[in-house]
Amino acid sequence: MLHSKHITLTHGKTEAESTSTRFTANQGVIFRVWITFPAGCAGLVKVRVYHEGHPFIPVDQDAYISGDNYVFEYPVMYEITGAPEVITIEAWNEDDTYDHTIDVQMLIIPKEWLQPVGGYEGIIAALKSLFQQT
């Protein structure tokens, strides 16, 4: 499932005045995340993504992502084990003149798509054959 958020951020905000955008995610694996900073953001728009209150883009609590006319693409492979769980996008706009709008997309796929059906059985059979004596 592709989750997509179009977030408009008011100018002149600080980290303490950040905007939180939340959505719920069902079980699966966060496979890819795209964060789009349109031209004009000039590195003044800051973004963090959290899962259940823990940062995962970027991993450091005090870090953030910023850019200008750029799309950040993250191959994540972050498993959602419960359902539903909360994903939070925290963002703020330090530009003193202009509002800016960013886009955040998150692709969550079923865990089974990463390991084909029957794949585990083949691996187990191969490991057993290494230890079987004839």
- The whole model's pTM is what? 0.81
Distances (CA, A) of 77 to 55, 63, 94, 110, 111: 14, 20, 31, 11, 10
Spatial distance between the Cα atoms of 93 and 44, rounded to a whole number of angstroms: 6
Which residue shows structure tokens 């498993």? 79
114-132: pLDDT as tens digits: 766 555 566 666 667 777 6
**Is residue 104 over pLDDT 80?**
yes
50-59: pLDDT as tens digits: 988 889 899 8
| Percentage above 90 pLDDT, the chain | 58
Please state the domain count of the chain.
Answer: 1
Identify the domain containing residue 107 by its residue range: 2-131
Spatial distance between the Cα atoms of 99 and 52, rounded to a whole number of angstroms: 28
Q: Mean pLDDT over residues 81-91, rounded?
A: 90
Domain containing 75 — which CATH number? Answer: 2.60.120.380
pLDDT at 53: 85
